[in-house]
Amino acid sequence: MTDADVLDLFRRSGALLEGHFKLSSGLHSGRYLQSALVLQYPDRAERLGAALAERVRALRPTAVLSPALGGIVIGQEVGRALGVRALFAERQDGALTLRRGFSLSPEDRVLIVEDVITTGGSTRETIAVVQAAGAHVVGAAGLVDRGGDPSRVGVEMHTLVKLDVPAYSPDACPMCAAGQALVKPGSRQ
C-alpha cells in the first residue's frame, strides 16, 4: 500500500477528517485522526496489518506486543500476517504489564505494534515490558507516525504513513482567526 492508499482508506472510514476540530486536549487542529474508525472494518484492518507486516518481516519477530487498548486490533492483524503470537500489555496500578497468562521468553524476538506513534512514550513503555520479561525487542511498528525524530522510540521504527496533526491553542488558531466553524469530533452535528 502506498501512503496515498493508506490515507484514502482512513478518509473513507471517517478516521481522518480535515477541517477545524476541537481535540480532547482542548487544542484546535485542522486534522482529526481516529484510527479505531478504520480498524472497525475487519477487512480494512486486515489489509493495513498485512501492509505493515511486509515492512517488518525482515526483523523476523516471533511475537508482537501492543499496548492496550489502541494497539490491540492492529497488533492482532500484524500477528496474523506474520504468523506469530499477538499479545497485549495493559495497565495495572498505572504501569503497563503482561497479564492474562501472557508470557515472553528470552528466545522471543518481539515487535511492538501500535496504531499511532506520537511522542513514542507508550512505545518506550511497551519496550520496557519486553525487557523486564527478558525477551529481545526487534523494532516498533505503527500505522501512523505523528511525530518527528524516528529515533525517539529507541529502536528501529516502521510506519505506513507520516502525518502531521498540528495543534493550536484557541487564541493562536488560524482556523479560528479565519472564522471557520469549530467541530468537536465524535459529537453529532
The three cell numbers locating residue 64: 508482537
Residue number, 27 or 68, with CB nearest to Zn ion = 27
CB of 30 vs Zn ion, minimal distance in Å: 9
Shortest Å, Cβ 164 to Zn ion: 16
Closest approach, Cβ 163 to Zn ion, in A, equals 19
Stretch 43-102 residues interacting with Zn ion (CB under 5 A): none
Distances (CA, A) of 147 to 24, 118, 161, 164: 18, 5, 11, 7
What's the per-residue H, E or C state across 79-118? HHHHCCEEEEEEEECCEEEECCCCCCCCCCEEEEEEEEEC
Q: How far is the CB of 32 from Zn ion (least distance, A)?
A: 12
CA dihedral 125, 88, 146, 46 (to 10 degrees): 160
Q: 168 and 139 in contact (C-beta within 8 Å)?
A: no
What is the bridge-based pairing of β-strands 109-117 and 63-67? parallel
- CB nearer to Zn ion: pick between 58 and 182: 182
Crossing angle of helices 3-12/42-56, nearest 10°? 160
Region near Zn ion per CB under 5 A, out of 21-29, 66-74, 112-120, 127-135? 21-29
Decide whether 144 or 173 has the Cβ nearer to Zn ion.
173
Least CB distance to Zn ion at residue 91 (A): 32
Residue 79 makes CB contacts below 8 A (sequence gap 6+) with 49, 63, 64, 85, 86, 113
* Nearer residue to Zn ion within complex by CB, 30 or 79: 30
Nearer Cβ to Zn ion (20/44)? 20
Among 9, 28, 53, 143, binds Zn ion (CB under 5 A): 28
Site string for Zn ion, 155-184 (x = CB under 5 A): ------------------x-xx--------
CB of 166 to Zn ion, least distance (A): 11
Interface residues with Zn ion (CB under 5 A)?
Answer: 28, 173, 175-176
